[in-house]
Structure 1
Amino acid sequence: MCAAKIDKPIPYYLQLYREIKQRIYDRTYRAGDRINESQLSKEMGISRSPIREAMRLLEKDGLLVADEKLGFVVYSLTVNDVEHIYELRIALEVLAVELAVQHASEQELVVVSDILDEVDRLIRDKADDERIIDWNQKFHQEIAQCSHNPYLARQLSTIEALIFYCRVMNFEGSGRATHIQDEHRQIFKALKERDAQTASAMMEKHLKHDLEHLYEVLTS
């Protein structure tokens, strides 16, 4: 006798977690904005309990902070925060691509290539920035997986939400999608050629370019 498969509905707090996170990323909720529990409760037609649970998850991600007077507010990234995030990214992702050169299978390289092809298509089709950003994140995540070091990939995943937040800001300005894609192509070329020295140098250069652009965005 086969066991019946039951499709479980997505819990309210997870739906709210995704919705609030999306609103932060698309700047509906901006840095310093208070998240109004009462307003969300009325808008969504649910109690405040799952809203609070969602906001606690977002606080854990680093996207919200608890204020004694205001409740939960959208976190304002500082230059120091971005520096710390990118120090960690450079350390881990340069190592990731070096390991990927050694360990990535040909099939895994095909996956990375397909991701880049999809980004090319999205850029040609003038897709929304957010869709391109999502695929850019997949490029970096896949390289981390290609390292075959689960602890490295897991460490990066702990700041994934903040990395994505930085990516959104990093897209401010003209020609950013094409510039970032060109650098991703350079990284992949070295990875495919199994050139660890060039791959690691290209990854470090790419992340430092992103950091420089974020300085401009945050200080303008």
Structure 2
Amino acid sequence: MKAQTLLLSPTATPLLRLPGPTKRREVQVFSSWPLTDRIRQHWRVNWKSHLGTVVLAAVVLISVQTWQTRDVPGGPAPDFVLTLVQPDGTSTQSTLHAWRARHPGQPVALHFWADWCPICRTEENSISRLTTDWPVLTVAMQSGPAVDVARVMRQRQLPWNTTVDERGTVMHRYGFKGVPAFVVIDAHGRLRTPSMGYTTEIGMRLRLWWASLTSLLDSQGMAVAG
């Protein structure tokens, strides 16, 4: 039998499939490589199949989100009366339009949640961090009157701007079928990038950043046109 060369370099792609005992030696050499080298080798050989999996997962996720938010209206965000909850359990009346006026030129976010929703609990820290950088109005859906909502917020130490949606009418007006839900209102008052179900913090931030960027581009385009 002719002698066959075994590739020992961990960065080289084996070109020969050696028969018999020699093939076993090739597998043993590959398994002895450091973990990072094995991962790199695996991705080098199988990157096309992994890319296809990622693309398929992204398509499925976008399709699901599109279907879940199919009833969210396009265009201007519907205005509604706010029952803003105070830390002591009292409440004040306002409107979404008036609340947005406190943040001129900025996109704002609406976060729909409920005290009995387990997925909403997993988003609480993300929302709390988000409120330090962006205007966020949370909507407590079917979570009781203002006193109950204020108590939950004190217990969970949630420093949020919150309005009470005791019967879920605001949520349904915005076209959402469940909680949690998240939607951005851009600087021109238009609804952007709605999502329902768990949303990552980076996903929320990217939605607000994108709304800020597109609003700025729209404003510059209108200025040039004028």
Decide: shared fold, TM above 0.5: no
Larger strand proportion, structure 1 or 2? 2
Larger helix proportion, structure 1 or 2? 1
Larger Rg: 2
- If the length of structure 1 is used for normalisation, what is the TM-score? 0.24
- If the length of structure 2 is used for normalisation, what is the TM-score? 0.24
